[in-house]
């Protein structure tokens, strides 16, 4: 994720945490996203447990479908 996308993503990060947790709950996962942190390489989403492949795919699909993220 480039820096412009990271900045746009961080503006609404609290609502994104809520929506990511809702998406994880819909697949009956016991994983929850705790917080989002931006660094020089992109965005880091921290969860309460080590995530499995299905959980990572769910989070990735959610982030890719956010309207203000521009494809590179």
**Regarding predicted confidence, which is higher, 72 or 35?**
35
pLDDT recorded at residue 14: 86
Q: Considering the domain boundaries, does residue 71 fall inside one?
A: no
Q: Considering the domain boundaries, does residue 55 fall inside one?
A: yes
Q: Which of 39, 45, 49, 41 is nearest to 66 (CA)?
A: 45
Q: Considering the domain boundaries, does residue 8 fall inside one?
A: yes
Q: Which helix (H) or strand (E) holds 16?
A: helix 13-26
Query: Total domain count for the chain?
Result: 1
pLDDT recorded at residue 70: 57
Q: Considering the domain boundaries, does residue 7 fall inside one?
A: yes
Q: Considering the domain boundaries, does residue 69 fall inside one?
A: no
Q: Considering the domain boundaries, does residue 72 fall inside one?
A: no
- Express each pLDDT in 25-41 by its tens digit: 999 999 999 988 888 87
């Amino acid at each position: 994720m480039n820096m412009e996308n990271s900045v746009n993503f961080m503006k609404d990060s609290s609502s994104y945490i809520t929506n990511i947790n809702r998406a994880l709950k819909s697949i009956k996962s016991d994983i929850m996203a705790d917080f989002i942190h931006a660094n020089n390489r992109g965005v880091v989403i921290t969860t309460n447990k080590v995530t499995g492949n299905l959980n990572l795919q769910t989070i990735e699909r959610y982030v890719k479908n956010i309207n203000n993220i521009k494809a590179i």
